[in-house]
Amino acid sequence: MFDIYSIVDHVFPLVVAIGLILSWKVATARWFMISYSAIVVTNLLTMHLTIQWNTHYYLFDALVSIAFLIPIIYRRDLALFLYNMTGNEFYRCVYRKQALSAQECMIVLVVIILVAVNLITWLEVLSYKYYWIDNAFIKLYLRDNIVLLLQIILCGCFLTYANKAESRELNYENT
């Protein structure tokens, strides 16, 4: 049963890569997936080190979850900055056409829930470590299952975003 947690942790880069392939023709979706791939790779590179932390792993995981908001919040501004620095039309196109989608709103909601779950778990682990409570119930029985469910929802959001990217682009051009 515990292997499913590891599989879902490592399937996310594959989902982002599939999303990138599905939405390659759409500049805004390509920029979204490329932005996320940087965060996903960083997460994978640090996961094997931080998973060994007993107490503060959950705080780090909450910070990584917050980092997943960066591509949604700052993607448009970063595209404008890169356009001003390089003059590349790709970044100008992304800046002009970028709009918040329903899938991105769902990703933000899921990430906020992930941050809350990890912070609550971190506080519970601290309480257990300093003998304020006798059992870390959330850490032992709830957290991993909640995170698993939320990661599966995130994978679905990314694939849906990639699948609907071209229709969003056509709607933008028709308005």
**Rounded CA gap, 47 and 164, in Å?**
31
At 53 the pLDDT is 86
**Rounded CA gap, 137 and 23, in Å?**
41
At 89, the amino acid letter reads E
**Is 1 a residue whose pLDDT tops 60?**
no
The DSSP 8-state label assigned to residue 154 in this structure reads: H
> What percent of the chain lies above the pLDDT cut of 90?
61
**Is 71 a residue whose pLDDT tops 90?**
no
pTM of the predicted model as reported, rounded to 2 decimal places: 0.88
At 42, the amino acid letter reads T
The tens digit of pLDDT for each residue in 10-31 reads 898 999 999 999 999 999 999 9
- Residue 65 near residue 111, CB atoms below 8 Å: yes
Chain centre to alpha carbon of residue 131: 34
Between residues 168 and 146, the one the model is more confident about: 146
pLDDT band at 116 (very low <50, low <70, confident <90, very high): very high
**Is 131 a residue whose pLDDT tops 60?**
yes
At 21 the pLDDT is 94
Tell me the average pLDDT across 63-92: 91
**Rounded CA gap, 31 and 161, in Å?**
12
